[in-house]
Amino acid sequence: MSGEIQQRFHARSIQDPDGFWREQSTLVHWETPFDQVLDYSRPPFARWFVGGKTNLCYNAVDRHLAARGDQNAVVYISSETGVEKHYTFRQLHAEVNRFAAVLKRLGVGQGDRVIIYMPMIAEALFAMLACTRIGAIHSVVFGGFAAHSLATRIDDARPLVMITADAGMRSGKSVRYKPLVDEACRLAQFPPQHVLIVDRGIDPEMSRMPGRDVDYAELREAVGEATVPVTWLESNAPSYILYTSGTTGKPKGVQRDTGGYAVALAASMHHIFCGKPGEAMFTTSDIGWVVGHSYIVYAPLIHGMTTIMYEGLPTRPDAGIWWKIVAQQGVTVMFSSPTAIRVLKKQDPKYLSQHNLQSLRTLFLAGEPLDEPTARWISDGLAVPVVDNYWQTETGWPILSAMPGVEDTPRKYGSPSFPVYGYNVALLDENTGQEVGADQKGVLAIVPPLPPGCLSTIWGDDARFVSTYFSLLKERKVYSSFDWGIRDQDGYYFILGRTDDVINVAGHRLGTREIEEAISGHANIAEVAVVGVEDKVKGQVPVAFAVVRNASSLQDDAALAALEKEVMETVDQRLGGIARPARVHFVTLLPKTRSGKLLRRSIQALAEGRDPGDLTTLDDASALEQIRAALVSRR
């Protein structure tokens, strides 16, 4: 039976975590060997590689100097500014050392927090590595967050220094960062002592606050060719905090350790992503998200690969830009998101075949459900296998994935395949707490200890860590992912949506994801969001907001009504009448966060006549306007 090798590999990681992770630990450098692989004396807090001393920056940069000092470590490409810069490992080492020297000059030391609020420029990556070099804890805040969100994070992390830039660029327009930083510092109770500014020269109007604001270029000059010794950290020392939203308004500061994270990432490059040292990896995320932390910055560099750092849209100057980069840089491993692919799907497919993509072995997609039509479209269009992988900010690396480096198992569209080694995944009945059988829906849980690399706690709030993630069952502590999952007869997992986005229609529980998947099967639907809307009789009914592939075919109301009926019939056919949306509204854009997640809650709130809530992460405000307009239109 296919999958046996990966099953054995997985089973060993669960049955003998000490032996398994001791082997994986050799993939990184330990300055001082650890005494204990796992300390699980205080569940659910897991401490990995206790007593061992290491450093993320050393593993990502210094360790490669001897063997690959002249190989590119970072290729920075901005389609917004036209800048392309290559940094060898030696040059990266020099830049990171200078950045670290600047931070030290500003008084930053081990354990101090540094907020990085920056666009996709190489200095952002230098800043992250400079922090980990000296044992400072970075917290990258995505550049799209507004001042209020930034202030909340400042007050939680209490940084000594904040690093920013004058501006970012998006779609040819400058996006000013500094005024937001000023406003956030004004709003915050515990503002940073210094704001370190990388001036890109985009915003000539940028103002500076004397005493607080300092210029990176000036300080970089001042420190010269400085070298800063690595600070060796005990494996469980925090490396970074990354804020993520949950069901409450207060963002959670996901805290990551040092040694466990290094080992988890290094192992994932071997067993899942299968890049080879010396090759190039292109991850299209942003450093503000967990995918950016793990697979733009740390993992490829720890693995001795060249990482491609890209500023810009996938469709500018045209929809072939990513494939041009793949061809020019000889990218072998690419990592993107389903949303990005759906954006490309709306463009002319000719862009997929204009460049020589022979180097590309695999395209990894993660972050949200990957619908079958999108997966097929891109896999066929590029003629490369697509690997869907499922994980969360909290875990830092994949929970479910195919693991081509362990065994090349066949993939099923719509499924992120199997539990990854180290994760003891269970699908639990939320009422009984019992494991569900094949083809039955359950809450995807992880039986602790969580493997290396996962969050060690919530920054400054151990109690919240336990109460948020480990209270699914009363009788024992298991980690809840807040996702519904199902495992088929062959052992393949499917994610059905968040437990908190579930729809209950006349007592039947339905995942919004299931309905969206069904609707996406209609040939004329490019993208769709389904939300549960309050209904007096059935409790909730599904309502769909769909983006049409060929809008020119819908000239009048009659055509729209006909398409709505067809979409409903598609759902009837795939899932049954129970899942049929009460209405299908047509829009040209869906409201999403800047990281591409659908703002289902806001859509749902509007559909129920409520306030759409926190919109600080909304990418394009006109998308919500379209939802509003669709809801009031009489058709």
Which residue from 95, 368, 371, 514 is in contact with ligand AMP, where contact means CB under 6 A?
A: 368
Which residue from 495, 548, 599, 624 is in contact with ligand AMP, where contact means CB under 6 A?
A: 495
CA angle 29, 35, 36 (to 5 degrees): 100
Instruction: Examine residue 149 and tell whether it contacts ligand AMP (CB under 6 A).
Output: no
Of 425, 424, 413, the residue nearest 378 (C-alpha): 413
Strand order in the sheet with 386-389: 84-88, 72-78, 306-311, 280-283, 331-336, 362-366, 386-389
Rounded CA gap, 494 and 502, in Å? 15
Residue list 413-432, contact with ligand AMP (CB under 6 A): 416
Rounded CA gap, 451 and 260, in Å? 8
Nearer to ligand AMP, 132 or 392 (CB): 392
Residue list 507-546, contact with ligand AMP (CB under 6 A): none
Contact 137, 112 (CB under 8 A): yes
Nearer to ligand AMP, 279 or 388 (CB): 388
Nearer to ligand AMP, 395 or 540 (CB): 395
Smallest gap from Cβ 400 to ligand AMP, in A, equals: 7
Rounded CA gap, 277 and 294, in Å? 16
Judged by CB under 6 A, which stretch of 26-34, 148-156, 360-368, 461-469 contacts ligand AMP? 360-368
What are the φ/ψ torsions at residue 619 (nearest 5 degrees)? -75, -50
Nearer to ligand AMP, 126 or 298 (CB): 298
Show the site string, 10-49: x = touches ligand AMP by CB under 6 A, - = not.
----------------------------------------
Helix (H, G, I), strand (E, B) or coil at 133: helix
Alpha helices in 297-369 (DSSP H): 299-302, 321-329, 338-345
Smallest gap from Cβ 393 to ligand AMP, in A, equals: 3
Rounded CA gap, 157 and 463, in Å? 17
Total number of residues binding ligand AMP (CB under 6 A)? 18
Six-digit token string for 332: 């072998």
Smallest gap from Cβ 268 to ligand AMP, in A, equals: 15
Rounded CA gap, 143 and 152, in Å? 14
Instruction: Examine residue 616 and tell whether it contacts ligand AMP (CB under 6 A).
Output: no
Residue at 434: amino acid letter:
Q
Rounded CA gap, 457 and 47, in Å? 11
Instruction: Examine residue 114 and tell whether it contacts ligand AMP (CB under 6 A).
Output: no
Residue list 466-485, contact with ligand AMP (CB under 6 A): 481, 483
Judged by CB under 6 A, which stretch of 60-68, 191-199, 216-224, 361-369 contacts ligand AMP? 361-369
Rounded CA gap, 213 and 216, in Å? 10
Which residue from 244, 328, 347, 354 is in contact with ligand AMP, where contact means CB under 6 A?
A: 244
Nearer to ligand AMP, 121 or 495 (CB): 495
In the bound complex, which residue of the shown chain has the CB atom lying closest to ligand AMP? 393
For the stretch 197-209, what's the b/e string if a residue is b when 16 or more beta carbons lie within 10 angstroms of its beta carbon?
bbbbebbeebeee
Nearer to ligand AMP, 25 or 374 (CB): 374
Which residue from 369, 419, 452, 596 is in contact with ligand AMP, where contact means CB under 6 A?
A: 369
Q: How many angstroms separate the Cα of 212 from the Cα of each of 124, 208, 444?
A: 20, 8, 47
Instruction: Examine residue 367 and tell whether it contacts ligand AMP (CB under 6 A).
Output: yes
Rounded CA gap, 254 and 271, in Å? 25
Show the site string, 375-404: x = touches ligand AMP by CB under 6 A, - = not.
-------------xxxxxx-----------
Instruction: Examine residue 498 and tell whether it contacts ligand AMP (CB under 6 A).
Output: yes
Instruction: Examine residue 619 and tell whether it contacts ligand AMP (CB under 6 A).
Output: no
Instruction: Examine residue 412 and tell whether it contacts ligand AMP (CB under 6 A).
Output: no
Nearer to ligand AMP, 369 or 448 (CB): 369
Nearer to ligand AMP, 182 or 371 (CB): 371
Residue list 280-309, contact with ligand AMP (CB under 6 A): 290
Helix (H, G, I), strand (E, B) or coil at 563: helix
For 8, other C-beta atoms within 10 Å of its C-beta total 12
Contact 153, 139 (CB under 8 A): yes
Nearer to ligand AMP, 52 or 596 (CB): 596
Query: Rg for the chain (alpha carbons), in Å?
Result: 24
Smallest gap from Cβ 181 to ligand AMP, in A, equals: 24
Smallest gap from Cβ 418 to ligand AMP, in A, equals: 13
Nearer to ligand AMP, 210 or 249 (CB): 249
Nearer to ligand AMP, 388 or 619 (CB): 388
Given its phi and psi angles, is residue 609 left (phi above 0), alpha (psi -120 to 50 degrees) or beta? left
Contact 365, 386 (CB under 8 A): yes
Six-digit token string for 85: 């810069």
Binding site for ligand AMP (CB under 6 A): 244, 290, 366-370, 388-393, 416, 481, 483, 495, 498
